Amino acid sequence: MMHLSSVSPLVSLLHLTFLFFAPVAVETTVRGCVDGRDKDHRPLINCTSAGYRDVPSGIEPTTKVLLFPQNQFSHPSWTSFTVFTEIHEIDLSRNQIPSLTHSDAPILPSLAVLRLGFNQLRALPDHCFSRSPALTELYLQNNLISSLQDQSFSGLSKLEILDLSNNHVQTLPPRMMHPLKAIETLYLEGNKIKVLPDNWFSQKNEVPYLYLSANPWACSCSLGYLRMYLEEYDYNVYVKDGPIISADAESVYDSL
């Protein structure tokens, strides 16, 4: 007869060893997706390049981070995100989203990070993010955005990072920054902006990280506010070269 008592410690040890060395990312039952944790230990599902057009079924409703970069989303149904009642981050970068229709969308009260870079967005209508009032980071770089409105970012009083780099923006609406009372980092480089409207930063004068390079800033008296602003806050102006970020107020004048 076998003495189980002499075997079980070894079994437990093997079991423990497996637990300790189990890979962090685990295949899920959702095709093409992998489970994991983000850097702050939030449960995430990573469906990078999995070919989805909308949120697939079978994802745990307690998931807080949904990663769908390089999928086929074109008209995502925001309603399909409401089952994730504690959602923190949605990554829909590198999809084919042409427009945002938030008017009939449900509220996503906990969403803090939304990544929509490298899509085909052309315009940001008034109030299009107002149903995600907890957003702190909004990434819209490398779209085709040419049309911005005074109320494009209405309701985003907690937003700290706004990335509009590498779009086709020509004109900055005079009151666009007014709702952004917490803005810390603003990326506007790589657009077609000629004029910074008078008192554009009046609601929160100091934006600690400001990226303005690679725009055709017009050399005329309408540049008055930009010049005045830069004289006071030149130490907040940065340029980004890939991952390298450096303080460089001259970057703005390069194109003057």
Ligand X SMILES: *[C@@H]1O[C@H](CO)[C@@H](O)[C@H](O)[C@H]1NC(C)=O
Q: Which residues of this chain interact with ligand X, rule CB under 6 A?
A: 36, 46, 48, 67
Nearest partner of 94 among 113, 120, 66, 75, judged by Cα: 120
* Spatial CB neighbours of 88, under 8 Å, sequence gap ≥ 6: 42, 64, 65, 110, 111, 112, 113
Identity of the residue, 9 or 23, whose beta carbon is nearer to ligand X in the bound complex: 23
Identity of the residue, 37 or 192, whose beta carbon is nearer to ligand X in the bound complex: 37
Query: Closest residue to ligand X, Cβ-based?
Result: 46
Identity of the residue, 95 or 130, whose beta carbon is nearer to ligand X in the bound complex: 95
Identity of the residue, 42 or 158, whose beta carbon is nearer to ligand X in the bound complex: 42
3-state secondary structure of 161: strand
To ligand X, the closest distance from the beta carbon of 153 in angstroms equals: 26
Nearest partner of 234 among 246, 247, 219, 243, judged by Cα: 247
To ligand X, the closest distance from the beta carbon of 48 in angstroms equals: 4
Distance of CA 131 to the CA centre of its chain: 15
To ligand X, the closest distance from the beta carbon of 108 in angstroms equals: 20
Query: Token pair for residue 190?
Result: 């790589």
Q: How far apart are CA 49 and CA 68, in angstroms?
A: 7
Identity of the residue, 9 or 243, whose beta carbon is nearer to ligand X in the bound complex: 243
To ligand X, the closest distance from the beta carbon of 50 in angstroms equals: 9
Nearest partner of 41 among 70, 73, 16, 65, judged by Cα: 65
* Spatial CB neighbours of 225, under 8 Å, sequence gap ≥ 6: 196, 197, 198, 199, 200
To ligand X, the closest distance from the beta carbon of 65 in angstroms equals: 8
Query: Token pair for residue 25?
Result: 């990312």
